[in-house]
Every structure is written in structure tokens, then in C-alpha cells.
Amino acid sequence: MVTIDAERFRDSFETYSAIGATEQGGLHRLALTDADRKARDRFVADLREIGLDVRIDAIGNVFARRDGTNADAAPVLIGSHLDTQPRGGRFDGQLGVLAALETLRTLEEEDIETERPIEIVDWTNEEGSRFQHAMLGSAVFVGELGLETALAMTDADGTRLGDALERIGYDGEHPVRSHDHHAYLELHVEQGPKLAEHGASVGVVDGVFGIRWLEATIHGETDHAGPTPMHARHDAVATAADAVSEINALPNRLSTDAVTTVGRIRAEPDSINVVPDRAEFTIDVRSADDDVVQTAAERVAAELAAACERHRTTYELDTVWETSVTEFAPELREAVGDAAATLDVAHERVVSGAGHDAKYLSRIMPAGMVFVPSVGGTTHNEAEFTEWDDCVAGANVYANAALSLAGDV
């Protein structure tokens, strides 16, 4: 068993939280901006301070390695991401990187040897806010996304990702994936309210929800908002409103964990006194059960058909992206659960509603996650908050789980 230095961990958290800090106590540190560079530079300096060699790969992921006693053993990989959402919070991503850093510092300070090497990582552009591909660095790492495709992506200003990497000096020379790893373990905030509601300090993450993104388009007919009686209309927005109301009521009828979200909606011709002939909206469907996602998508289509029949309109429904349920490796879940039990930390099993780098990593190695609570479930905004005691409890569970995976010598 190891115990992290809670004060040092806190100091690091405050130091990193000053880089890209917003006035409202959040972080605005978009991938590959000057703020991200400063955070990366601090991270590299911190890694060198504990004697580690740092390597940067071709997509800008930052790695460092602490040797094990068995040079031939595949390393355990730990870490998360330092980039944030626009005006995001201080806990999302950063906390996981700093828990991994604190793990390595603790092992160094206490001269603890492991059989396997332990490698730490900061993944590039996890948020997908600046360059529109979430978990981009890990996607390239696992081969989900081609390196050249990723480097050629542009932000809203037309800046190429490759050029942005070069500008901040993180266009690394190391190949994106040079060797195998034994396992990947990531600490992250839950981004939902359950752990906090249940009084648990740590979540042992079973996996990640399946997700399907749908786009609905309603076709009606324009008419004058005055002389056209209600019964004579083919109103695309009226159709959309009926369908969206029903779509938001679907999850409670399907399962306890399913969620549906309509985040975008627009009308055409977008005029106050014209019955609209076109409405578009998106639907994000998630569940821990792929069958529930499939059923929900079918019900979405059925609700659209019913609303269109009522309003004498028509619809199209397209799946624009989907990913099936991820189940994390049993040995990782066990390592996390055992560490929590041994440390007597209140914990419970959870399924992540959000995607994480660990989701991609699980395709090529056993992967797992430790969650800490998000008070009120608030995330992706400046009010994001986790009680510091929970951060410390989570980091201790994380450090000990990583230690057990690496083989305490």
C-alpha cells in the first residue's frame, strides 16, 4: 500500500489550475493553444524533476517512463488529458493527469520498485472542442484515426492541427505507438451526479455507454401565419416539437440508465410570420445496454412518424455516428475495487455516460477507470467541483491500483 502526499497533490492542482484560469474559477485551455503549451511545459518539467525521460509522439501525446525491475515487461500506462472545454472546469482531465503524476512522485519518494515499467501520458485534444474529434490523441494511438488525417484537421480559424502542434513545439518525433502496454488506467471526474448523491468517494467504472447520434429533418410546407387555419398547415416546427417532447420522455420508459438529448434545433425559413417548412434537430441516445440504444433509436423513428402523420409532414432520420457499449477489463475493475476496499474508501460500480480516452485504449489493451464524484453532476463549465477529500481518496485508490497492476516488488 502507498499513500499519496495530499498536500503536494493539492499544490500541483493549484499550480496547474492557474494556467488558463478564468475569472469564475474555471479553466479555458483549448488544445494546442498557448495555455495548453504552458500546461504541457509544466508537466514536462515536473516529469524531468523526478528523473524521467520525456518523449513526445507525432500527434503531440506526451509520455514519460519510470522503469520497472523487468525491462522486458510491458508497461502499465496511466494518465488523462490537460486540455479543457471552452470555459470548462478545473477537474475534467487535469485531475487524472495530476493523480498519475502524484502516483509516480509517491513511488519515487518512497523508493518503491515495480516489476513493470509505469508510463504516464497526457493525450492531445481529448475534448474535441478546438479540433472536432473528441479523444483525438488516443484515437490516433489506437489506430481509430489516421495520423495524417488528424494532422490535417483544421480548427474554426482554419489552422491545421499539425501547424498548431509545431507552433507550440509539440510536434514530436516519437512514433505514435512504438510498443505494447500491459494495461491503461485513468482517473476522471464522473461528470454525473450519482456518486455524490450516493455519498461514494470513488466509482469503479464497469464500462462506457453505447452512444448513437441521430439527425432528424422534418419537411412541411410554408404558409402565411395569418390566413392559414391550423388544420390546413403542414408545420415542420409543430411536428418537431411534438416529436422532441416524446423523445425526451422515452428514457424513463426504456431503462433506468438511458438518456436522450436534443441539443440542436433550427427552423426554416426562420421567419416569425411564416409557417415553417423545415425543421432540423439532433438526438444523442445513450445507454449501458446496446439493445436499449437500438430500441430507443427505433422509438425515435416511431415518434417522428406519429408526429408527421398528425401534422401531414414527412421526415428523414440519419445516424451520423455511433459507438457500442465498452466493457472495461475485469482485472482492471478488480484492481480498482480491491484498492478501494483495502483503503476503506466508500465506492460503488458505475457506468460512464461520457466517452474517455480509456474507451479507445480498451480496444488494444485491458483498460479501466477510477471515477471521483462531480458535485451536482456539473461538468464542462466553470462551476465543475469535486470535494478535495474525494480527490485525495480517488488518487490513493488510483495509485494503489496502478501499483498492483505494475507488480509491487
Nearer to a second copy, 66 or 194 (CB): 194
Nearer to a second copy, 10 or 87 (CB): 87
- The single residue among 97, 161, 218, 267 that binds a second copy, judged by CB under 8 A, is 267
Distance CA 268, CA 68 (A): 62
From residue 152 to residue 171, the character string flagging contacts with a second copy as x (rule: CB under 8 A) and all else as - is --------------------
Torsion, Cα of 90, 93, 99, 103 (10° steps): -150
Nearer to a second copy, 259 or 361 (CB): 259
Count CB neighbours of 297 within 10 A: 19
State the nearest-atom distance from the C-beta of 380 to a second copy, in Å. 6
State the nearest-atom distance from the C-beta of 88 to a second copy, in Å. 11
End-to-end CA distance of the chain: 12
Count CB neighbours of 250 within 10 A: 21
Q: Let me know the angle formed at the C-alpha of 143 by 139 and 149, rounded to the nearest 5 degrees.
A: 75
Residues in contact with a second copy, counted by CB under 8 A, come to a total of: 64
State the nearest-atom distance from the C-beta of 103 to a second copy, in Å. 24
Nearer to a second copy, 156 or 272 (CB): 272
State the nearest-atom distance from the C-beta of 211 to a second copy, in Å. 7
176 binds a second copy (CB under 8 A): no
Q: Which of the residues 309 through 348 are near a second copy (CB under 8 A)?
A: none
Nearer to a second copy, 302 or 341 (CB): 302
CA-nearest of 328, 121, 96, 342 to 209 is 328
Nearer to a second copy, 115 or 280 (CB): 280
Nearer to a second copy, 323 or 404 (CB): 323
Distance CA 100, CA 78 (A): 6
354 binds a second copy (CB under 8 A): yes
State the nearest-atom distance from the C-beta of 267 to a second copy, in Å. 5
Burial 172-186 (b: 16+ CB within 10 A, else e): beeebeeeebbbbbb
Distance CA 48, CA 138 (A): 23
The letter for the amino acid at 403 is L
**76-80 and 183-189 as β-strands: parallel, antiparallel, unpaired?**
parallel
Q: Which of the residues 221 through 250 are near a second copy (CB under 8 A)?
A: 221-230, 232, 235, 237-238, 240-242, 244-245, 248
365 binds a second copy (CB under 8 A): no
Distance CA 283, CA 297 (A): 9
**Residue span binding a second copy (CB under 8 A) among the ranges 145-153, 276-284, 337-345, 391-399:** 276-284
126 binds a second copy (CB under 8 A): no
DSSP string, 58-99: TT--EEEEE--S-TTSPPEEEEE-----TTB-SSTTHHHHHH
21 binds a second copy (CB under 8 A): no
What 3-state DSSP class applies to 37? helix
- The single residue among 38, 176, 193, 407 that binds a second copy, judged by CB under 8 A, is 193
Q: Is 193 within 8 Å of 88 (Cβ atoms)?
A: no
- The single residue among 2, 21, 112, 262 that binds a second copy, judged by CB under 8 A, is 262
Q: Which of the residues 57 through 116 are near a second copy (CB under 8 A)?
A: none
Q: Let me know the angle formed at the C-alpha of 260 by 211 and 315, rounded to the nearest 5 degrees.
A: 95
199 binds a second copy (CB under 8 A): no
- The single residue among 23, 252, 318, 344 that binds a second copy, judged by CB under 8 A, is 252
Distance CA 184, CA 369 (A): 8
380 binds a second copy (CB under 8 A): yes
Cell of 258: 438511458
Q: Is 141 within 8 Å of 177 (Cβ atoms)?
A: yes
Interface residue list for a second copy (CB under 8 A): 190-194, 209, 211, 213, 221-230, 232, 235, 237-238, 240-242, 244-245, 248, 251-252, 257, 259-267, 269-276, 279, 281-282, 284, 286, 352-355, 374, 376-381
